[in-house]
Amino acid sequence: MDSIVILDGRSLSVQDILTVSKGKAKVDLSAEAKSKIASLREELEKMISDDPGLRIYGINVGAGNLKDTPISVKEAEKYQIKYLLSHNCGTGKEVPLGIVRAMMVIRLNSFAAGKSGIKPDTCELMTDMLNHGVTPVVREEGSVGASGDLVPLSMIAAVLAGLDEAEAYYGGVKYDAKTALKKAGLRPVALGFKEAMGLTNGTNLMSGYMCSAAVDSEKIYILSNIAAALSLEAIRGEKDAFSKELCSMRPHEGIIKTAEMMRKLIKGSQRMSREAQQIAFKGQTPDTVQTRVQDRYSFRAVPPVHGSLYEAVQEFNRVLSVEVNSVTDNPLFLHDDETGELRAFSGSNFHGQPLASVIDHLKSNLTAAGLISDKRSFSMLNKYLSFGLPSSLAYDPSKGDTGLMIAQYAGAARAADCRVLSTPASVTSITTSAGQEDFVSMGSIGVLHLRKITENLKTIIAIEVLCAYRALEMTNNNEYLPENLTELGKGTGKIFSYLAGKLHQYKGDYYVASDIEHLTELLFSDEFFRFLSDELNIGLTVNKNVVENYL
């Protein structure tokens, strides 16, 4: 782990965050950031010392609806501990360690701007924890996505402060906070005024999970196109829906990009030729062969549906890139433009609505991609909707083979789950803090739903690819088509051959779950994406550097 990501508060990339989150790089604050942090803290302490009657939120008054309750500066250190104890209300599953590390990097980068009033030694300890592999135990549930992700960030802060109840991982083992720090050669820090609030008033649970989702959603977009292309080959589909001439008449970027990828995948396909479409498959009679006009929406509408996902991913990444270089805290300490004096500015930089909105938008577009994928799987299992593919893609129904009928059920279950999870969280505010915090983003709820949706999509896409692969395996031979019409597209042909070398070959029913799991891992693997890049020049299109570095 030789590389170092320098944090300056303004140039952190999602790529950097993912690198650190996976333990592939260390972090350090830039010299300028260290100077800003130290200078502001010194100036802030002087300001409080010079005017003991000054009331500043987070320093000498209570939190939330207790904002009008004075607290003696002498009690400041005790208040930090009381604040953390009362805010450690996290429940549910543990947040993955990589996400916790991402949260810490993003929080530290916010401090690098030198506007939060955090002490240098507190920032140094957080840096050392990242570099020595001390990762706090954080629970998923408890944040409402405003006033920052208070509860999960409090669990990180509790480790820095060495609270008895706090826990952290070190070397893959869970310890109490003090023991974990000691094993790494570190010691807890004594928090001063403003620090407990500064450590917790950020959007970092949301943005941490979003960094992971940036990778998953980009992969899902590409694999959705690949799955659709294989399915089109399976049903001998129509190519016109992806033509440059047609799609240029509606020049949304997502439509154009998606149609381009689809054309690249199916280019040269003889199986999708008009001649191949007119051949009766085994079990059909010539009089039952349908004259093609246009395919069902689930095949024909790939450019607008998948294209909308492309654009949602773009916007998601744009907002995320801004957020990880923002100062999400309250209050902030800034110099007045007119007087030059240091002042505390209370606002809402911690509010998660900008994130919650794009999270919900991405959720809905991922769900649409999942639903349309499931419809294609459904079609391939129906001989009337698939233009003659064997019913349920069963090898020999007379011997009791069921085929992939129930695999589609499994995909449908995941698709139905996505429908529920895609309900917008950003419009479900519940009032907190006695009405003082009366509109919250619930982006923290949305981002957990987003994570589950991406996991669902991985399975749904794998099931579609499995159906398409089985359909081609069964029918792309001279029992169904003349040899000259079995040629697949330049892209789909290579992908089919790649899968044939990786999947088990069966001629009857088998334990399908093993194939679904294996195919899911295979499709989303580093190896497969390198294959796509090397063999087909299909790269990551929305946030190329982020995902290539992640791989």
Residue 294 pLDDT more than 60?
A: yes
Residue 2 pLDDT more than 80?
A: no
pLDDT category at 466 given cuts 50, 70, 90 is very high
Mean pLDDT throughout 151-158? Answer: 98
Residue 115 pLDDT more than 50?
A: yes
Is 229 in contact with 271 (CB distance < 8 Å)? no
pLDDT category at 549 given cuts 50, 70, 90 is very low
Mean pLDDT throughout 445-468? Answer: 98
Q: Which fold has domain 4-202?
A: Fumarase C; Chain B, domain 1 (1.10.275)
Question: How many percent of the chain have pLDDT more than 90?
Answer: 78
Helix (H, G, I), strand (E, B) or coil at 54: coil
Residue 436 pLDDT:
72
- The model's pLDDT over 20-51, given as tens digits with 9 standing for 90+, comes to 999 999 999 999 999 999 999 999 999 888 88
Q: CA separation (Å) from 216 to 329, 332, 542?
A: 28, 34, 12
Mean pLDDT throughout 488-492? Answer: 98
Per-residue 3-state assignment (H helix, E strand, C coil) for 303-344: HHHHHHHHHHHHHHHHHHHHHCCCCCCCCEEEECCCCCCEEE
Residues 38 and 464: their CA atoms lie apart, in Å, by 56
pLDDT category at 19 given cuts 50, 70, 90 is very high
Residue 50 pLDDT:
84
Phi and psi at 93, nearest 5°, equal -70, 160
User: In the chain, which segments carry CATH 1.20.200.10?
Assistant: 210-326+339-550
Residues 547 and 543: their CA atoms lie apart, in Å, by 7
Residues 66 and 213: their CA atoms lie apart, in Å, by 36
Bigger pLDDT: 16 or 57? 16
Residue 439 pLDDT:
77
Is 236 in contact with 186 (CB distance < 8 Å)? no
- The model's pLDDT over 240-255, given as tens digits with 9 standing for 90+, comes to 999 999 999 999 999 9
User: In the chain, which segments carry CATH 1.10.275.10?
Assistant: 4-202
Residue 542 pLDDT:
52
Number of helices and strands in the chain (H, E): 21, 9
- The model's pLDDT over 229-241, given as tens digits with 9 standing for 90+, comes to 999 999 999 999 9
Write the single-letter amino acid at 87: H
Residues 207 and 549: their CA atoms lie apart, in Å, by 18
Residue 333 pLDDT more than 80?
A: yes
Instruction: Kindly report the average pLDDT of the chain as a whole number.
Output: 93
Residue 121 pLDDT more than 80?
A: yes
Q: Which fold has domain 210-326+339-550?
A: Fumarase C; Chain A, domain 2 (1.20.200)
